[in-house]
Amino acid sequence: MTINGKTRLTGLIGNPVEHTLSPVIHNGISDKMDIDCVYVPFKVETEGLDSAIKGAYELNVLGMNVTVPHKNDVIASLVGIDDCAKHIGAVNTLVRDEEKGGYVGYNTDMLGLRRQIHEDGINLNGRTVVILGAGGAAKAVVYMCLLDGADKVYLLNRTLDKAQKIADDMNKLAKDGAIAGANNCSAVIPCSIGDYADIRENNLIVFQATSIGLFPNVDSCVIEDDSFYDKVEIGVDLIYNPAETKFMQIVKAHGGKAYNALKMLLYQGVIAYELWHKVTVDNDILEDIYVELKRRVYPKDNIVLIGFMGSGKTTFGKAIAEKLSMKFFDTDEYIEQRENMTIKEIFATKGEEGFRQIETDVLRELANTLDGCVVSTGGGMPLRIENARLLKEIGKVIYLNVATQVIYERVKEDGKRPLLQVEDPYGRICEMMTERKPLYERACDVIFDANCNDPEVIWTSLKNDGII
Ligand code: NDP
């Protein structure tokens, strides 16, 4: 984007802020919605917090996110606070209020997690919930549980006092009628972490809200006892790095469903964005931003080649793999082995739609497993938007762009291409190219001219262009 006189500013206040992923969310949405705004992280020391907030307002900053360690202290510098943020005692989003002459505080962390679990079909109403941890995040989770009508909330923490304090605060709010969905005033039960065996209920919904298991300490989990997990139906880990924490692994091993909370991170940002810009961000954009977040948090070392049949995905792919000492992986070959049928047979028995579905299933699997590979994909693979996103999760996507005539010359003798078994294959290629070119362009990170037939020349240009 080009910054001009009308460009608005939003940002993040915290310390440290260097590793924040919020710019991916906010600048990504502005870019996709063509909204003239930039989002910048600001490192602010505690002593400077109040002047930073007042200064931001005077500088006409549209809105701010607030992160550790300022989520509580920032409240003193605001002109207003949303009820839910007030009850949780933490603010992560500041919305400009011209009439009041300052910022009003919101807690979109809680709203983000709530949106995530609702989307995953997790209904807390009438349920027994266990929350592991009693830090800032856990408090927001307790509030969410009461708001959504949970029957009982066991709050387990290493330091019992902290769990006790949150339980007292939240039970009091429930008693005072301050939380709409709360239906009993002693729902929150504080416990020491070691008291998990005293929980008698089954089908528990558990939120893991400690920092145990966070990368790089991926082999630890706050409770490891199998007897606890036998009672767990759903586990949500607020940690999103690694993608599957030890806690999630144990929940799954005991037959439960497990989720990480990367979507919480996405949605807290999206909800803040919507409050600032008074827009609704549509799902397609959310999906794209989510892929971008996953690429940042779980980077994979793969190169994915897409393009029409005959564009050189296999020939050039093998050459590139050899040059880079990477493995070569052909999705069509993999599908043939997996289905124990040739592509032609799959088309004949399951139709094109059946084949496309197999491609999607395979990509989902590969997005979790493939690393260090040059991947050659089927020509139609990126046509589904879902597949296009999965390909980006797998690695850097290069579209090998080749002229129609060159394609025709490369494939005209090849009888294995089911889609070209027609009277006028050249006409068919032209038709398909017109249809597919924009979809390849949408699906890729880079468009590369691959008209040359010499793999050595292709390799040199890819290197010289800084693509690989
Ligand atoms: P806090 O520092 O406020 O709380 C940390 C919690 O972890 C406390 O309950 C603490 O217990 C517990 N804990 C830490 N070390 C141990 C240990 N060795 N044994 C037992 N318990 C321990 O952090 P937050 O509440 O802000 O964050 C908690 C987690 O949630 C983090 O991992 C964070 O990454 C994640 N998070 C994810 C978000 C998302 O968008 N997905 C948003 C916010 C947080 P004690 O009180 O005894 O010290």
Q: Are 152 and 199 in contact (CB under 8 A)?
A: no
pLDDT at 418: 64
Is the CB of 297 inside a 6 Å radius of any atom of ligand 1? no
Handedness of CA 308, 310, 312, 317 (dihedral sign): positive
* 71 given a catalytic annotation: yes
Q: Give the residue among 4, 461, 464, 20 at the shortest CA–CA distance from 272.
A: 20
Q: Give all strands of the β-sheet with 327-330 in edge-to-edge order.
A: 327-330, 373-376, 303-306, 396-401, 446-449
Specify the residue with its C-alpha closest to ligand 1, atom 27. Answer: 137
Q: Give the residue among 295, 366, 319 at the shortest CA–CA distance from 468.
A: 319
β-strand partners of 305: 376, 398
Amino acid at 467: I
Catalytic residue among 32, 71, 175, 300: 71
How far lies 52's CA from each of 43, 168, 225, in Å? 10, 33, 47
Percent of the chain with pLDDT over 90: 93
Q: Count H helices, E strands: the chain? A: 17, 17
Amino acid at 43: K
How many whole angstroms separate alpha carbon 468 and alpha carbon 451?
18
Q: How far apart are the first and last CA of the chain?
A: 25
How many whole angstroms separate alpha carbon 193 and alpha carbon 257?
22
pLDDT in tens, 184-203: 889 999 999 999 999 999 99
Is the CB of 273 inside a 6 Å radius of any atom of ligand 1? no
Angle at 374 between CA 369 and CA 375, to 5 degrees: 70
Give φ, ψ of 177 to 5 degrees.
Answer: 75, 20
Mutate to test the pocket of ligand 1, among 19, 131, 158 (most ligand atoms within 8 A of CB): 158
CB atoms within 10 A of CB 76: 9
Q: Are 331 and 359 in contact (CB under 8 A)?
A: yes
Is the CB of 134 inside a 6 Å radius of any atom of ligand 1? yes
| pLDDT tens over the chain, length 468 residues | 789 999 999 999 999 999 999 999 999 999 999 999 999 999 999 999 999 999 999 999 999 999 999 999 999 999 999 999 999 999 999 999 999 999 999 999 999 999 999 999 999 999 999 999 999 999 999 999 999 999 999 999 999 999 999 999 999 999 999 998 887 889 999 999 999 999 999 999 999 999 999 999 999 999 999 999 999 999 999 999 999 999 999 999 999 999 999 999 999 999 999 999 999 999 999 999 999 999 999 999 999 999 999 999 999 999 999 999 999 999 999 999 999 999 989 999 999 999 999 999 999 999 999 999 999 999 999 999 999 999 999 999 999 999 999 999 998 877 666 666 778 889 989 999 999 999 999 999 999 999 999 999 999 999 999 999
How many whole angstroms separate alpha carbon 10 and alpha carbon 94?
10
CB atoms within 10 A of CB 145: 29
